Amino acid sequence: PPDVEQLGRATWTFLHTTAAYYPERPTPNQRANMLNLLHSLPILYPCSHCASHLGETMKTNPPDVSGRIALSRWLCERHNEVNESLGKKIFDCTKTDERWKDGPPD
Ligand code: FAD
């Protein structure tokens, strides 16, 4: 079975980075494809308890693919739900661009 921690770090890196560079004004095609990507995770993510937990939280909080700021925040909140359930620190969602796009200020 995959290493759930390494898989998680790699997947969060991909998802947060993709959200950080998602357009502020996505085309209908970009929105539809982002929705497909996110909706595929509860079906395909190769950690079954992670996948089913994500599927439950996505029912309560459907993805917001309207633009990169909203999407980055939505993803940060879902990641924080996982952090909380694992007893990890809650991430400050105002720091998402700094972590995944811009780097620390000089
Ligand atoms: P990670 O949680 O992997 O975070 C990587 C980096 O992201 C951090 O170092 C930090 O810089 C940054 N970061 C942290 N929180 C946020 C945030 N809220 N927003 C933006 N950036 C942030 N593991 C389980 O054991 N059970 C589960 O149910 C589970 N579900 C998961 C569901 C998904 C969709 C994914 C992608 C992973 C899941 N994992 C689950 C794995 C888990 O979330 C972690 O990836 C893993 O435990 C490794 O944790 P880490 O401490 O190295 O940092």
Nearest residue by C-alpha to atom 52 in ligand 1: 9
Closest to 3 in 3D by CA, of 47, 55, 52: 47
**Which pLDDT tens digit goes with each residue over 23-82?**
999 999 999 999 999 999 999 999 999 999 999 999 999 999 999 999 999 999 999 999
* pTM exceeds 0.90, yes or no: yes
Q: What is the distance in A from the centroid of ligand 1 to the CA of 102?
A: 20
Both tokens of residue 18? 């993709």
Residue 92's φ and ψ, nearest 5 degrees, are -80, 110
Does ipTM come in above 0.95?
yes
Q: How far is 61 from 18, CA to CA, in rounded Å? A: 19
Both tokens of residue 85? 């359930």
Q: How far is 13 from 7, CA to CA, in rounded Å? A: 10
